[in-house]
Amino acid sequence: MPRPCLHPTPAPAHRPQSVFLLRGPDLPGNAPHMPAPLPAAVLQSVVSRALEADTTLALRDCRSEQELIEALCVADHDPADVVLLAPGACVSSERLRRLLPRLRNAYVEVHDTAADTNPAQLPENAGHRIAVAHGCGAQSYVLALEVALEHLACSEAGERVHVGT
């Protein structure tokens, strides 16, 4: 006896938007070096907040400039997504600076520095940078995610004004 055809489940009206948290190596040079792990409480805060916002979060710690560049290219498949970019030792990378303007994703630049530190930053014209989050130590990642979520909400609503950014 033939089985009845099942109709495919319709696709959801909107797919959850994605945030990619990409972290470059902490040390300069050609030797691969992973960035220091995020504190557990910060990682938990970022993951929980992304879940609350119905946003997919992908985390990638890169050991080299090449890995970071490849991860940025992979993340660039949907221009509606946002990248939290912690360039680390790659902040002065000429390859990274040339790549960013060619990517479609907006990004929030993140530096987990203390409030009294003024980190080197990527140039303002390096791609679609929304903001720079720094001065809050590892909590800068939480701040960066809030900026990204606000950007996603404004983009979804068709707004062009971001309150508070």
Q: Is 58 contained in some domain?
A: yes
How many domains are contained in the chain?
A: 1
Q: Is 9 contained in some domain?
A: no
Q: Is 128 contained in some domain?
A: yes
Owning domain of residue 88: 18-25+36-157
Tens of pLDDT, residue by residue over 94-129, are 999 999 999 999 999 999 988 778 888 999 889 999
pLDDT at 20: 97
DSSP secondary structure, 95-161, as one string = HHHHHGGG--SEEEEE----TT-------TTSSEEEEEE-SSGGGHHHHHHHHHHHHHHHHHHT---
